[in-house]
Structure 1
Amino acid sequence: MADPRLIGRSVARREDPRLLSGRGRFVDDIQLPGMLHAQFVRSTVAHGLITSIDLSAVREVPGVVAAYTAEDLPLGDITALLGRPPHEFVPTAMPVLARDRVRYVGEPLAVVVARDAYAAEDGLAAARVGYETLAPLTSEEQALAPGAVLVHDEAAHNTLVDVSLFATDGIDGIFDDAPCVVQVSTRTGRQNALPLETRGAVAHWDDREEQLVLQTCTQVPHQVRTVASRSLGLDEHKVRVIVPDMGGGFGLKCAVGREEIAAAAAALRLGRPVKWIEDRKDALSASFLAREQHYEVRAAFDEQGTILGLDADVVCDMGAYSCYPFTAGIEPLMAAAEMPGVYKVPAYRVRGRAVTTNKAPTAPYRGVSRPQYVMVVERLFERAARELDLDPVEIRRRNVITDFPYTGVNGITYDPGSYLEALDLCERSVRDEGWYERQAAAAAEGRHIGIGYSCFSERTGYGSTAFAQRKMAVVPGFDISEVRMDTSGAVTVTTGTMSHGQSHETTMAQIVADELGLDIAKVRIHQGDTERITYGWGTFASRSITVGGSAVRLAAAKLGDKLCRIAAAHWDITPEETELDRARVRRKDDHSAVLGYEQLADIAYLRAHLLPKDVEPGLTATATFDVFNDGTFSNAAHGVVVELHEGTGQVEILRYICVEDVGVAINPQVVEGQCRGGIAQGIAGALFEQVTYDGQGEPSATSFMDYKVPTAQEIPDVTIHHLSTPCAFTETGAKGAGEGGTIGAPAAVLNAVNDGLRATGIELDHTPITPGTVHSALRGNPENVS
């Protein structure tokens, strides 16, 4: 008999028929009677005092209904907090509309509301804003220079976060005595998360419910509700946030934006629905950005290649403001806490800083600092391998964690994983395909082929305990699920997670269908509605299946228990003498005695007088799940083969192999899709994407003519091998799978490029790796290599 279980099977995505046939419903598809359209007057200078905002001509533009400044819409600021002392963290209030000062090009100053989107754009052109310009800070060095102008008066030295989480006693002596000390100085480019669907919102007041209804594409609907209610001065029950279908988020949409709050305020003022859709220019230049980081790191090794210590200084350029709820601490705290990664590092010292500059603020982006620090650590191992004349894979073997559970020097306990097994399989796959022989043959022909690896873990399933260690004032972690069966025996499941492409309608339904023995078609998943979901933290940090899926399974199990109790009372036996079986309850001692779910639902709803006295009418169960340890760790090894073309400096990826372990894969095809998408974004950061600024703080990439996004032509086929080390404390054995591809790709690509440059004696440490840089390196011009 075939295994009826759905977990572990590549069930066809239930979302696809709707989305592929154009029946999806995204924010921009929403049309309400009398709806108006909003756009924002944005700052044209990076740093300055606002001397005047004249909207009189705007209000005369045909089709414009209203135009508001911060004075017209008295809204509370958005302020993210950490529970850290002032010398470690400085909070900065982010006004919904700038009042006295602008801090980056694109900062919203006023909202223009019109009868259609075209009139709103015409209205923007009529706005007149006066500034007293101040010197813009466009780099970390400028921000930290003595006497630099301050982006925020309260943030001395333009530093928002400055923490030293770890400093092993005697670490200086370890480095002084070490036979081998290597150092890496690296910078990573500023990036845009670039979801296919830009940000947007539709807001209106519902007179019957006496509620502001805000439909928006966010990963964190409950957090948007909290900020909106506080900023607008409404009780939280008077704000309902609904998320329709969403075309990607990648972390960008788990920060609460200013524009959705301003659109809601305009809707309240006008008594009419207001829609705002971010255009691509604003999305590229004025939306939340990510990634710009600078690492100065050194590592000490003994003669055999065993790591003795790690010493790091991390500076993250977080732009003009802290994002809500994560604060500017999200990137330096992530890097500082988790940098040792998969390696047995016995001594560790780290300083992590977040600086503020006159750039669009930073939000989480897939991986959050892990692509950067993994790249740094992997470069250190490559460099040490050359210094000690060791094979670069062998030196990793000697240092990866193999005994579990393992508590690292960073105080984090790692649950069982397959770090060494993944690395071995990855290298064996590359060798078995003959790439080392091809590399040697290419070298004889004067071609440059490089092979690179990365080995890493991804901490997932962050619970309240893990987030509390960051001392966030808002502590995410738990999830709540409700499973409700109707009289037909079908179930509706609520989850506090928020799908933006992760296939929750499929994977969550697989979990429930397995637990209750239901046909998956009988399971409906509901998320993204603060009125119907008790509370939820949304989707980020690969938490959906680990935390949300665990809550869903527990709720389904509770409902199953109730079904068994009803059936047991009908048969006058104990619930322990019954079991669930294919949408029915049967007696364990007589499998011919069964009650279908429809029969049991009939009793629960329509003939409640037959229920036992200790069982309430209805078929509803609620469960919560939290993680009270350090979370669970997925792991992977990536192997990359590249060819460097002398004439153009182009980096061509010839082969990409990934060996990953995400515990139990609920739906392997979905997991592979997550991995391939993540790898594509990691390659983008390694080779293509970057937002730079001129001396006046003007962003360089405001269209796809300038922001270099890779296409299918540049992204190779990816071979994925699966290992499985089930998690012991999630309800399904699953570990997170959302960010791993992105985390490992930059390190593997950079190492492969450097392997291809071996004969030149030049090494690269910064990303993105441009063709010009590779061209200069191949010609042996280190002075032109940045």
Structure 2
Amino acid sequence: MTPSHSIPAPDPAPDAARTEPWVGASVGRREDPRLLTGRGRFTDDIQLPGMLHAQFVRSTVASGTVTALDLSAVREVPGVVAAFTAAGLALGDITARLGRPLSEFVPTDMPVLAGDRVRYVGEPLAVVVARDPYAAEDGLEAARVTYETRTPVTSEAQALAPGAPLVHDGAGANTLLDVSMFATEGIDEIFAGAEHVVRVETRTGRQNALPLETRGVVAGWDDREEQLLLRMSSQVPHQVRTVAARCLGLDERAVRVVVPDMGGGFGLKCVVGREEIAVGAAALRLGRTVKWTEDRKDALTASFLAREQHYDVRAAFDGDGRVLGLDAAVVCDMGAYSCYPFTAGIEPLMASAEMPGVYKVPAYRVRARAVTTNKAPTAPYRGVSRPQYVMVMERLFERAARELGMDAVEVRRRNLITEFPYTGVNNITYDPGSYRESLDLCERVLRDEGWYARRDAAADEGRHLGIGYSCFNERTGYGSAAFAQRKMEVVPGFDIAEARMDTSGALTVTTGTMSHGQSHETTMAQIAADALGLDLAKVRVHQGDTDRVAYGWGTFASRSIAIGGSAVRLAAGKLGEKLRLIAAAHWDTAPEKVELGRGAVRRREDGATLSYEEIADLAYLRAHLLPPAIEPGLSATATFDVLNDGTFSNAAHGVVVELHEGTGQVEILRYVCVEDCGVAINPQVVEGQCRGGIAQGIAGALFERITYDEQGEPSATGFMDYKVPTAHEIPDITVHHLETPCAFTGTGAKGTGEGGTIGAPAAVLNAVNDALRPTGVELDDTPIRPETVASALEHAS
């Protein structure tokens, strides 16, 4: 039976007998009944009368000047309604800036549609609008574009070479960011006098965040509201509204962004894209609703990418395995343009600021650069440089342990931060965590399960088993202060929430965060329900509508529960205070003599209660009975920001792998994660975040990579070339929880969205190197290629 889209499933009956708090309970996700029965509504599900469909004419060369762009034949294709170039839509550029001198940072203008200059294969040149998607595709085939090609820049080495071709003529060089930071006085002498100096040079492959749902938008003008309505898949609807209004020359009020259900984002959708704005402009010109859904080829080749980074790092150790200093050089290939609002500095600045991580590093120096190349631009992707620099740090400890003849886990223990708060050499103060406890438990689980004995027995049988670990922290809840340290012109940070109760005592909560799979409808409701003593069934959460939500920065950087959840808690608490005031006025008693209970306010002296429905009746329907000092209605708004360095979740990962001769296949036999995200609002949701993140981390360690040939042509245009792990390659993952409550957030929770992805590449790589130990081969790059493993095993046999 086909489920109805017009009749919502009822909420479960209120649990009047429940006395346990909602926070900390693994209640079922409230989103699941809708999503699992086909009643979810994603951007591509939207079908409207008279709706047109758009696709983009894209550059077929990586670098060149457009000498002719002829769309006349396109407009003659049956079903095509219109075709627009950049000149035809007259749009402003998207420009992201840092407040740094030009010697450190060079901004780049990203046109919504390229004009006479193209900078990567897949760059949008024109938009074709047709009556159906097939006619739009046919229209693309009729476009005629000629180029005067230029030599493309396709690698870091080429970008930095003297006399290299320029991706942006006005930039003067291909370096968009070049900063040196934390140069501890005397660091050269520390390295010169150290008993041991180890070096790791590593490169990581360019990846696609690969959400299940590609980008898409349905754009149309609302005559009644005099607004351009953009229904789209975005993690940052308010930022899209701001940029779209500026590019289109509209008042911000005249743009409304609404996000329906979203099938993943992982950072790819936390920046402002070009195509959505171009479709909005086409809808305005035509006075018709226009829809664009990104196909998978465009998503792989022309959407935002990430992760292509190069690290050259030295660490100095004393004879007991303690770190004396860290000296790092970081180069990130950021593609053709800076993304909005984070800029090309997002990856190198993250790596520079946070590389010391969970370890006590007394001396530190780093130089970080972002280079521009003729590739699709880079956006944040789950973890943002932390999977890379954690991998570097963990490789340094493994290499130091081998040179010192020590156990690598013990070397880590000697260097882990154990006393809090701890202010590092990077000028960041770490709040309390369980760094040592996480590693100890992770190792104990693998030892108790007998994996060390199995590894040794396998070696006697000629098999190749290895055990690897990673330790890391994840700064979450970045507030305005943390983002301001990067000197961002647009400074994210705070969040706004509203709690509003109706006459039935039901609560509606709005939040500026944006769920793309993280279960906000459940976890935010748990927070609000606890704050007011409500049953979960009485709470509804709304997000992703720029007219309904006052303002919000969206969801990225594991900020939603840490900051958004804290704002929800504050708003619900303020509403609770008003409930108490109204009840106290009704009883003609002092507010301190009443308290919130289970769906009611209770008078302490005799236990009398006034239900929330009765209070709402007073607030709305009999407001004349309220004292003049109490305004009618039941609503409260609150903001929350983290004004210090943020809060740090932490984890340890342990992995057991087996390497197969002949094929070089890396099979993961066991995966253990010990995580600490403070108070877990919903432990089941936390585990889901860990498992999903680990799957993406494994993908980066073993499978996913986009390369480019000398002409700037991307190698991966489909899943035959872009290797994505299936359920067969992802092992069962055991998650153990530790809990160090955060003192800076309203709920004691820290973020947990990115930790799995951060720790997995390092743990997998270390396990592979442990299995390769008899061969003398050590690998430092990801993804790990099967042919490399097979060659090492073959030459050792």
Deviates more, 1:333-342 or 1:769-778: 769-778
Match of 1:454 in 2: 470
Match of 2:652 in 1: 637
Identify the match of residue 646 of structure 1 among 661, 669, 680: 661
Match of 2:51 in 1: 35
CA distances 1:566-585 after superposition (whole Å, capped 9, x unpaired):
00011111111110101000
Deviation at 1:157, TM superposition (A): 2.7
Identify the match of residue 63 of structure 1 among 54, 79, 103: 79
Written as runs of structure 1 = structure 2, the 5 A alignment for 1:165-244 is 165-244=181-260
Match of 1:614 in 2: 629
Mapped partners of 1:120, 1:564: distance in 2: 59
Structure 2: which 5+ runs fail to align? 1-16
Backbone CA RMSD of aligned residues: 0.9
**How many residues are treated as equivalent by the alignment?**
781
Mapped partners of 1:201, 1:166: distance in 2: 43
**1:628 and 2:651 matched:** no
Written as runs of structure 1 = structure 2, the 5 A alignment for 1:526-545 is 526-545=542-561
Structure 1: which 5+ runs fail to align? none
Deviation at 1:189, TM superposition (A): 0.1
Amino acid at match of 2:610: L
**1:116 and 2:132 matched:** yes
Between the aligned residues of both structures, percent identity stands at: 81
Name the SS of the counterpart of 1:72 in structure 2: helix
TM-score by length of 1: 0.99
Contact 1:483–1:491 (8 Å) recurs in 2: yes
Deviation at 1:154, TM superposition (A): 2.4
Contact 2:662–2:794 (8 Å) recurs in 1: no
Amino acid at match of 1:619: L
**1:565 and 2:560 matched:** no
Written as runs of structure 1 = structure 2, the 5 A alignment for 1:718-733 is 718-733=733-748
Consecutive aligned runs of 4 or more in structure 1 exceeding 4 Å deviation? none
Contact 2:774–2:796 (8 Å) recurs in 1: no
Written as runs of structure 1 = structure 2, the 5 A alignment for 1:208-607 is 208-591=224-607, 593-607=608-622
Amino acid at match of 2:653: H
Amino acid at match of 2:113: L
Amino acid at match of 1:199: R
CA distances 1:445-486 after superposition (whole Å, capped 9, x unpaired):
111000000000000010000000000000000000000000
Deviation at 1:248, TM superposition (A): 0.1
Mapped partners of 2:28, 2:104: distance in 1: 49
Match of 2:113 in 1: 97
Mapped partners of 1:673, 1:708: distance in 2: 23
Mapped partners of 2:512, 2:92: distance in 1: 26
Contact 2:775–2:796 (8 Å) recurs in 1: no
Identify the match of residue 685 of structure 2 among 654, 670, 676: 670
CA distances 1:132-163 after superposition (whole Å, capped 9, x unpaired):
00001110001111100000012233000001
Deviation at 1:770, TM superposition (A): 0.9
Amino acid at match of 2:784: I
Contact 1:90–1:154 (8 Å) recurs in 2: no
Name the SS of the counterpart of 1:71 in structure 2: helix
Amino acid at match of 2:317: F
Mapped partners of 1:324, 1:353: distance in 2: 18
Name the SS of the counterpart of 2:330 in structure 1: strand
Mapped partners of 2:150, 2:437: distance in 1: 55
Name the SS of the counterpart of 1:287 in structure 2: coil
Name the SS of the counterpart of 1:254 in structure 2: coil
Deviation at 1:431, TM superposition (A): 0.3
CA distances 1:527-558 after superposition (whole Å, capped 9, x unpaired):
00000111000000000000000000000000
Identify the match of residue 707 of structure 2 among 675, 688, 692: 692
Match of 1:746 in 2: 761
Amino acid at match of 1:156: G
Structure 1 pair 244–389 and aligned structure 2 pair: CA distance change class (3 A): same
Contact 1:439–1:449 (8 Å) recurs in 2: yes
Name the SS of the counterpart of 1:94 in structure 2: strand
CA distances 1:155-209 after superposition (whole Å, capped 9, x unpaired):
2330000011210011000000000000000000000000000000000000000
Mapped partners of 1:110, 1:437: distance in 2: 62
Mapped partners of 1:215, 1:781: distance in 2: 58
Deviation at 1:2, TM superposition (A): 6.6
Name the SS of the counterpart of 1:181 in structure 2: strand
Contact 1:7–1:511 (8 Å) recurs in 2: yes
Contact 1:563–1:600 (8 Å) recurs in 2: yes
Mapped partners of 2:439, 2:591: distance in 1: 48
Mapped partners of 2:270, 2:404: distance in 1: 44
Deviation at 1:729, TM superposition (A): 1.4
**1:713 and 2:728 matched:** yes
Contact 1:53–1:128 (8 Å) recurs in 2: yes
Name the SS of the counterpart of 2:340 in structure 1: coil
Mapped partners of 1:443, 1:606: distance in 2: 78
Deviation at 1:665, TM superposition (A): 0.3
TM-score by length of 2: 0.97
Name the SS of the counterpart of 2:390 in structure 1: helix
CA distances 1:646-694 after superposition (whole Å, capped 9, x unpaired):
1210000000000000000000000000000000000000000000011
Mapped partners of 2:623, 2:39: distance in 1: 40
Mapped partners of 2:319, 2:207: distance in 1: 39
Name the SS of the counterpart of 1:656 in structure 2: strand
Name the SS of the counterpart of 2:170 in structure 1: coil
Amino acid at match of 2:340: Y
Name the SS of the counterpart of 1:676 in structure 2: helix
Mapped partners of 1:185, 1:196: distance in 2: 33
Mapped partners of 1:98, 1:728: distance in 2: 48
Match of 1:54 in 2: 70
Match of 2:13 in 1: none
Mapped partners of 1:3, 1:456: distance in 2: 37
Deviation at 1:519, TM superposition (A): 1.0
Mapped partners of 2:783, 2:465: distance in 1: 19
Match of 1:770 in 2: 785
Mapped partners of 2:644, 2:593: distance in 1: 35
Contact 1:762–1:780 (8 Å) recurs in 2: no
Deviation at 1:590, TM superposition (A): 1.5
Deviation at 1:781, TM superposition (A): 7.8
Contact 2:387–2:762 (8 Å) recurs in 1: yes
Contact 1:545–1:736 (8 Å) recurs in 2: yes
Match of 1:15 in 2: 31
Deviation at 1:779, TM superposition (A): 2.1
Deviation at 1:341, TM superposition (A): 0.1
